[in-house]
Amino acid sequence: MTANRIQHVLDGVVSRETAIGSSDVTEGSFDVSRETYADTPIAAEAARAVRVLNPGRSTFPRPPRRRIITVANQKGGVGKTTTTVNLAVGLAMHGARVLVIDLDPQGNASTGLGIDHHSGVPSIYEVLIGERSLADAAVPVAAAPSLWCVPATIDLAGAEIELVSVDGREARLRWAINGFTDQLDYVFIDCPPSLGLLTVNAMVAANEVLIPIQCEYYALEGLGQLLRNIELVQAHLNQGVRISTILLTMYDGRTRLADQVAQEVRKHFGNLVLDSVVPRSVRVSEAPGYGQSVLTYDPGSRGAMTYLDAAREIAERGVNGPPRPRDAGGPRHAPGRGPE
């Protein structure tokens, strides 16, 4: 990494911390001053880790209205589920009331949140076919007091076909969410890796789409199809939906390719792309094996800190409106760019 690049990354950390007005506070045993941030990246890292570990000490702004965010990309393995789980936990740990809807028959989001999803448990399948309300199927998640999950079981695999002949087949999820009257700040919908009826339901139900993009070759391939599908939904089924957020995932700082993909994505999507870029990290991939988010599994890890930063960006963007235009810079995330 060049000296300029390091300075750029640090500037990003400093300006973000300064922007939220909390850089002069004492957190835990760390006396965090602006000078400390600017001068020693390790202190900055430590301070961020303390934030992850002490969520009660800072809250993110809560949205004026319920935000329904569909996490979609028809490619598998780009980080949809990981993003859903970690953003939901990050926001809930910082005071938001969050519901995660697992809309993938694989049930990975349910697993990642430590929720039982064997065939037969109340799930999103019964909700979609009208046998159960969303509230009936929602279960509390241990990671945070204000976090719930509606699990997906393998029964959902048949839903794409079963729903074809059902009334309002594209709007089933929207109706179910409308019927959920408890106050919520965020609903995250984790989509399957396809553009079928389940994903259409998620887009019809949402007001925002979040697209995770893996910093790999082929990352942009197929994106055109996803964007066209979103336009079709906008035109015919839900005028209120828009792409609000792009998150770069699995960034490996050792490869030039990752940088190229990130730059390409920023050139195309501008300010929709979050400043936070999720690094490729073993800790992130280990966490679901323990039914946990990386924020609870290893709060001090770079993956945890970046997901928390991303959650904060989403919370702040939601309240302050679209971000100010800025020129496309390099990725901002925890310094030290190799995988863990």
Q: Which residues contact 274 (CB under 8 A, 6 or more apart)?
A: 245, 246, 247, 248, 310, 313, 314
Minimum CB separation of residue 239 from Mg ion in Å reads 27
CB 303 within 8 A of CB 294: yes
CB of 289 to ligand ADP, least distance (A): 9
CB of 35 to ligand ADP, least distance (A): 32
User: Measured from the CB of residue 190, what is the shortest distance to ligand ADP in angstroms?
Assistant: 7
For ligand ADP, the closer CB: 81 or 201: 81
Nearer to Mg ion, 81 or 249 (CB): 81
**CA distances for 268 relative to 71, 231, 271, 272, 292, angstroms:** 19, 17, 9, 9, 34
Cβ neighbours around 38 below 10 Å, total:
17
Whole-number Cα distances in Å, 138 to 4, 121, 154, 175:
48, 11, 17, 15
Smaller CB separation from Mg ion, 71 or 311: 71
Least CB distance from residue 206 to ligand ADP, whole Å?
A: 17
Q: Which residues contact 29 (CB under 8 A, 6 or more apart)?
A: none
Q: Among 23, 108, 199, 276, which residue sits at the site for Mg ion (rule: CB under 5 A)?
A: 108
Contact assessment for residue 83 and residue 61, using Cβ atoms and an 8 Å cutoff: no
117 is a contact residue toward Mg ion (CB under 5 A): no
Phi, psi of 218 (to 5 degrees): 75, 0
Contacts of 334 (CB under 8 A, 6+ apart): 45, 48, 279, 302, 305, 306
> Residue 153's Cα: distance from chain center in Å?
21
Please say which residue, 23 or 86, places its beta carbon nearer to ligand ADP. 86
Which span sits near Mg ion by CB under 5 A: 45-53, 76-84, 299-307, 311-319? 76-84
- Which residue type sits at 104? D
Residue closer to ligand ADP, measured from CB, 23 or 106: 106
Answer for which of 70, 73, 81, 292 binds Mg ion (CB under 5 A) is 81
Residues that bind ligand ADP (CB under 6 A): 76-82, 108, 193, 249-250, 278, 280-281, 284-285, 288, 303
> Among residues 28 and 193, whose Cβ is nearest to ligand ADP?
193
Q: Which residue has the tokens 């519901």?
A: 99
Minimum CB separation of residue 37 from Mg ion in Å reads: 35
Q: Does 80 contact Mg ion by CB under 5 A?
A: yes
Residue 301 binds which of ligand ADP, Mg ion, none (CB < 5-8 A, kind-dependent): none
- Residues in contact with Mg ion by CB under 5 A are 80-81, 108
